Homo-oligomer: A and B are copies of this chain.
Amino acid sequence: MSGLVESLGTTDALSRLFSDAVVLGAMLQVEAALARAQARTGVISDHVADVIAAAARPDEFDAAAIGAAARASATPVIALVDRLRQRVEAIDASCAAYVHKGATSQDVVDTALALVLQSARAVLRLDHERLERALRDLSDRHASTIMTGRTLLQPALPITFGLKAAGWYAAVRRSWRRLSIACDEGIVLQFGGPAGTLSAVGADGLKVSEALAAELSLPLPDAPWHSHRDRFAAIAAAFGIYTGTLGKIARDVSLLMQQEVAEAAEPGGGSSSMPHKQNPAGCAIALAAAVRTPGLVAAFLAAMVQEHERAVGGWQSEWPTMAAIVQAAGAAAQAMAEAIAGLRVDEARMAANLRAAGIGGDADLGAAEQLRQRLLEGA
């Protein structure tokens, strides 16, 4: 798919993570680590592992060809392994039989995705933390800035902007915490062989599994999970909730930025036709992510009903869905981190709008400040 087509739904860093080079690299990293793990546990010799690792160099593989071949077998791994085996053969033909030994396609695809998700999480964390800090600062700065509280888009009662920002902060923080837990639990090794029994590596299957997990710095789960996708589904859903939370903030900011309201404005972006127009471009990015993501999460959940030991269609549908979910979250986090960090707040306008609304600027906002502090502390 086109970078252009995806451009508003990713970031530079995340689009690189899901690029052919990185994804191919992750798959080859799994194959090499498998060989090393088998060497470590005495299943194969160190020499074989070294040859396989030497052959597993991403720049010697043609991602486009592997992608095209994937359509004939419903997996990219056959073509990948064929090419890897050829390269191993060229170095030392006696090693070729040990390539991909004991593994199945989905071991490679799932573990590679786990590796990419691990990296994506680290990338996303930077923007998330920037956003969290910016929201906290915003709330503190405006602890006593009084403004119109709005319900059903109508003036209701006064609030403080500090409370509003603290609500954003706590929601983002809760959502991130859920996402972190889902990632901690769900980003794990996949290794089970064709039917998930480890039988293809013999009685030492579990030792190889442990070694492989250690090689890749991934947790070893209780057992292979080829057709049990709840862990990945929980990650997808947690991303979805995180993005939904960012979308809520973006909605609020874009509404506050309306010229008729003019209480806050993100640094924003321009227009192709009206040079002096200031657009809530960051909010647009985050809202675009929030509007797409629920359907993507549904697509992921729908794939959970997988047949027997490895499914026909279920897991094959997951990769692009997860990639889109993660990148959309990252696009939203980056956009909102910038929007909030650079948010211009017009306190005078807030006061004026509140007066115009005629909803009692003399309200007691003591409890509001208590709530604000609870939100900043407690989440």
Q: If A73-B270, A154-B278, A199-B367 touch, does A297 touch B296 (CB 8 Å cutoff)?
A: no
- A211: chain B residues at CB < 8 Å are none
* A71 with B335: CB separation less than 8 A: yes
- A378: chain B residues at CB < 8 Å are 222
- A255: chain B residues at CB < 8 Å are 153, 307-308
- A363: chain B residues at CB < 8 Å are 197, 199
**Interface bits A275-300 vs B (CB < 8 Å: 1, else 0):** 00111111111111111111111111
Tell me if A94 is interfacial: C-beta within 8 Å of chain B: no
Tell me if A190 is interfacial: C-beta within 8 Å of chain B: no
Tell me if A43 is interfacial: C-beta within 8 Å of chain B: no
User: What is the CB-to-nearest-CB distance from A283 to chain B, in angstroms, rounded to a whole number?
Assistant: 6
- A166: chain B residues at CB < 8 Å are 223
Tell me if A93 is interfacial: C-beta within 8 Å of chain B: no
Q: Identify which of A49-57, A118-126, A237-245, A340-348 touches chain B.
A: A237-245
- A379: chain B residues at CB < 8 Å are 222
- A305: chain B residues at CB < 8 Å are 244, 247-248, 250-251, 287, 290-291
Tell me if A233 is interfacial: C-beta within 8 Å of chain B: yes
**Interface bits A320-352 vs B (CB < 8 Å: 1, else 0):** 110110010001001100000000000000000
Question: How many copies of this chain does one complex carry?
Answer: 4
Q: Among B201, B241, B288, which residue has its beta carbon within 8 angstroms of that of A317?
A: B288
Question: Contact residue range for chain A?
Answer: 35 or more
* B292 with A301: CB separation less than 8 A: no
Q: If A197-B363, A222-B375, A288-B317 touch, does A64 touch B3 (CB 8 Å cutoff)?
A: yes
User: What is the CB-to-nearest-CB distance from A180 to chain B, in angstroms, rounded to a whole number?
Assistant: 13
- A199: chain B residues at CB < 8 Å are 157-158, 363-365, 367-368
* A7 with B76: CB separation less than 8 A: yes
* B310 with A152: CB separation less than 8 A: yes
**Interface bits A147-161 vs B (CB < 8 Å: 1, else 0):** 001111111111100
Q: Among B223, B247, B292, which residue has its beta carbon within 8 angstroms of that of A371?
A: B223
Q: Among B5, B76, B286, B300, which residue has its beta carbon within 8 angstroms of that of A323?
A: B5
User: What is the CB-to-nearest-CB distance from A150 to chain B, in angstroms, rounded to a whole number?
Assistant: 4
Q: If A7-B70, A151-B195, A193-B273 touch, does A254 touch B312 (CB 8 Å cutoff)?
A: yes
Interface residues of A in 159-213 (CB under 8 A from B): 159, 163-164, 166-167, 170-171, 174-175, 178, 192-203, 205-206
